[in-house]
Amino acid sequence: MREILKQTTNHNRRWDPTRLLFLVLALFLVACEDEESKRHLSELKQLAAATAVYRDFKEVYVYDDHKPGRALLSVYYNSRASYDDVKSFYSNALLTKGWELFPKERRGGILHYLSDSALVFRKGEYQIAILRESLDQNPTARNYVISYVWEQP
């Protein structure tokens, strides 16, 4: 019995060259994709810095994340502004800079699940989503979120 266990254990520790090459290639591809996602996250941060902020918005929280094939930056704001005013402001600000309104039926990826009331714009491989999160008037509440997204096609 010991001999059988010893042979099985030794057999499982051996790596044939094909398996090893496959593992190294897979790790390399994941690392390359992760670098691409990091680069896009950096570009999303620049995009957010260059995007006008509604006059009554007070930033309360920032979340960012990147995974192979996707980068996300969400900036949460507190404001008592009406959603219609916010949508009008961002429509004017983004449409004049070449962004196009991106209807729900054409959305994919992580923005596909946003409600119909979300305002989503697209330019090249980037998307910006504006959404009212809460009606809470607490000064630290996250009532609005603007998400900047890159997803690999």
Distance of alpha carbon 39 from the chain centroid: 13
Please state, in angstroms and rounded to a whole number, the distance separating the CA atoms of residues 114 and 110: 8
Please state, in angstroms and rounded to a whole number, the distance separating the CA atoms of residues 32 and 95: 33
The candidate with the shortest Cα–Cα distance to 151, out of 124, 116, 125, 131, is 125
Question: What pLDDT score does 27 carry?
Answer: 47
Question: What pLDDT score does 21 carry?
Answer: 46
User: How many percent of the chain have pLDDT more than 90?
Assistant: 54
Q: Token pair for residue 62?
A: 């920032």
Listed as ranges, residues in the chain with pLDDT below 50 are 1, 5, 20-21, 23-25, 27-32
Q: What is the pTM of this model?
A: 0.75
